[in-house]
């Protein structure tokens, strides 16, 4: 695979670090595209070649990774006139690492097959920290043989213990929905425990240090709790993108006749965050909603 050329589309909070690891660790000749050209500057300094469109990227690449914002962006990147399917070469491999709709992953897989191209859906979890430290969890759907071929590249971006083939096309996206459902309700617990500790007069940092080592320990508490204490609400993952993910999960649940009241409640809290202008904060920005409803933002 070392002689293959890599294409990378989407160089935001996550994609920039992920692509950087592939360039530095793999030494691949790499072609990059982002709607905002400035966001590719660091990668260009590492040796990547900037392209003017997704179509140009795939015309020059053998293995193409995409990680963009919302399903509409995925649609545009893959199916528009300047998109992937207008220029991708037979025998190429395309990997969408965006969290998107399982049905869209299937559409991409089917269209790829028609054009003699392999496709994987491979969403990730771990936020900006996981992307920077190459410790992401990567959940993959598609053909297992293609997954095995790309495993060395996935291991440049993620923790090898957290990279898994989940099954047929769309299975990666369904796994990510399960992940987001868990995080959604967990974030309510994290914020409520912190608000309670604050009101009870505890040192919130000491509280996190204690319960974060016991039965209540979880990634969100131990990583986002300290950020909240410092007033750091910068996005490792945007609230607006999390609401998108919860919307997809609720849509899929409805299709499968599932009732998920915990997810629905968390979704309403995060919609409240958007309503008061917090959509560009990280998911830990839910704390600010609780501050407001408990009157703590005035103290």
What lies within 8 Å, CB to CB, of 17 at 6+ separation is 128, 131, 132, 134
As a three-state string, the secondary structure of the chain is: CCCCCEEEECCCCCHHHHHHHHHHHHCCCEEEECCCHHHHHHHHHCCCEECCCHHHHHHHCCEEEECCCCHHHHHHHHHCCCCHHHCCCCCCEEEECCCCCHHHHHHHHHHHHHCCCEEEECCEECHHHHHHHCCEEEEEECCHHHHHHHHHHHHHHEEEEEEEEEECCCHHHHHHHHHHHHHHHHHHHHHHHHHHHHHCCCCHHHHHHHHCCCCCCCHHHHHHHHHHHHCCCCCCCEHHHHHHHHHHHHHHHHHCCCCCHHHHHHHHHHHHHHHCCCCCCEHHHHHHHHHHHCCHHHC
Marked catalytic residue, from 55, 176, 244, 288 = 176
Tokens encoding 159: 């923790």
The C-alpha atoms of residue 43 and residue 134 are separated, in whole angstroms, by 16
Tokens encoding 229: 């204490």
The C-alpha atoms of residue 18 and residue 16 are separated, in whole angstroms, by 6
Cα 5 to chain center, whole Å? 24
Cβ atoms 31, 6 nearer than 8 A:
yes
Give yes or no: 162 in active site. Answer: no
Q: Just list the catalytic residues.
A: 176
């Amino acid at each position: 695979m070392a002689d293959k050329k890599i294409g990378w589309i989407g160089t935001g909070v996550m994609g920039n670090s992920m692509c950087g690891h592939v360039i530095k660790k793999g030494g691949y000749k790499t072609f990059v595209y982002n709607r905002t050209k400035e966001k590719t500057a660091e990668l260009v300094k590492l040796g990547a070649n900037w392209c003017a469109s997704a179509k140009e990227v795939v015309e020059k690449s053998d293995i193409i990774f995409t990680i963009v914002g919302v399903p509409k962006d995925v649609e545009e990147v893959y199916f528009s006139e300047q998109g992937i399917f207008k220029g991708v070469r037979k025998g190429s491999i395309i990997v969408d690492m965006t969290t998107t709709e399982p049905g869209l992953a299937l559409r991409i897989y089917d269209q790829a097959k028609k054009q003699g191209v392999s496709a994987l859906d491979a969403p990730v979890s771990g936020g900006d920290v996981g992307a920077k430290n190459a410790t992401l969890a990567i959940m993959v759907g598609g053909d297992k043989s293609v997954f095995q071929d790309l495993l060395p590249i996935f291991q440049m971006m993620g923790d090898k213990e957290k990279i898994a083939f989940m099954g047929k096309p769309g299975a990666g996206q369904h796994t990510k929905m399960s992940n987001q459902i868990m995080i959604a309700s967990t974030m309510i617990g994290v914020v409520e425990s912190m608000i309670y500790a604050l009101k009870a007069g505890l040192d919130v940092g000491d509280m996190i240090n204690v319960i974060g080592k016991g039965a209540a320990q979880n990634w969100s508490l131990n990583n986002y709790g300290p950020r909240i204490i410092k007033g750091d609400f910068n996005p490792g993952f945007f609230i607006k993108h999390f609401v998108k993910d919860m919307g997809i999960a609720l849509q899929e649940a409805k299709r499968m006749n599932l009732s998920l009241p915990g997810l629905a409640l968390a979704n309403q809290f995060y919609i409240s965050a958007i309503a008061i202008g917090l959509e560009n904060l990280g998911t830990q920005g839910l704390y600010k909603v609780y501050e407001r409803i408990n009157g703590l933002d005035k103290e």
